[in-house]
Amino acid sequence: MKKVEIFDPAMCCSTGVCGPSVDPDLTRVASAVYSLEQKSFDVTRYNLANDPAAFTDNKEVNQVLHEKGADALPITLLNNEVVKVGNYPTNDELAKWLDVKADELQQKPRVVVPIDFN
């Protein structure tokens, strides 16, 4: 299965509501990641403030950080390859990578109830 990893800058909360203003991009990402997790996709976020080890342990991320510094964050990896630096992936990008419909990333997950007609 494909794996997406997002390496966030050091932040207080991953929804972004506690910055000096609401960053709709952060809330969108939080929501998209949440939806993907609900669908059992392998999506992980690492916050630099809480989980710095992830940033040193990952060779690709570490290299980008050493080349570009803190401004390179957020960094997104798809199957261990850097696919996005300095910006969050859009819903379309996430959808393309993981092969889901983009609008599913902001919808309430539906539970399919099997109906047995017999």
Find the part of the chain contacting other proteins (CB under 8 A) among 35-43, 75-83, 92-100: 35-43
Please give the structure tokens belonging to residue 28: 């969108």
- Between CA 49 and CA 56 the distance in angstroms is 13
Pick from 41, 58, 65, 98 the residue near other proteins by CB under 8 A: 65
Helix residue spans in the chain (DSSP H) = 24-38, 52-57, 59-68, 91-98
Question: Which residues contact other proteins (rule: CB under 8 A)?
Answer: 9-15, 17-25, 27-28, 30-31, 33-35, 37, 43-52, 55-56, 62, 65-66, 69-71, 73, 86-87, 106-109
